[in-house]
Amino acid sequence: MNWYSLENESDLNRIQEKSFETPQVIFKHSTRCSISAMAKGRLDAAVKAEGLEFHYLDLIRFRDLSNEIAARFHVHHESPQTLLIKNGECILDQSHWEIRYEELAETAAS
């Protein structure tokens, strides 16, 4: 699994721009949360990454950026959380035990 680091607003702008070509997934991860670690592990094990790009946000280090993501894509902040960005918009948001690669891939393909 190849994770791209998400650390600033410029990275976020690039993700939004790239989403017009390839669906982008943002994984908001709390390094202090065991549920977040399990969700990341499940993604690592399941992801084939065909047709999707995955971005990792350490929301402990980059809390302001996490808040910007919530505001920009009109989602309630959760941790852990995945956001599927396609054509500049968040088309799926999952949190906690709802985080499933299969649903990300199916939604991205539709």
What was the pLDDT predicted at 49? Answer: 62
Q: How far apart are CA 23 and CA 18, in angstroms?
A: 8
Say if CB 82 and CB 26 are below 8 A apart.
yes
**In what helix (H) or strand (E) does residue 91 lie, and over which residues does it extend?**
strand 89-95
Which residues share a beta bridge with 19?
A: none
Domain limits for position 67: 3-109
Confidence of residue 2 (pLDDT cuts 50, 70, 90): confident
Find, among 60, 87, 57, 93, the residue nearest to 75 by Cα. Answer: 93
Q: Which residues of 1-38 are buried (b: 16+ CB within 10 A; e: fewer)?
A: eebbebeeeebbeebbebbeeebbbbbbbbeebeebee
pLDDT 10s digits, 46-99: 867 678 999 999 999 999 999 999 999 999 988 899 999 999 999 999 999 899
Q: Domain holding 103: CATH number?
A: 3.40.30.10
pLDDT 10s digits, 12-51: 999 999 999 999 999 999 988 899 999 998 888 886 767 8
| Domains of the chain: total | 1
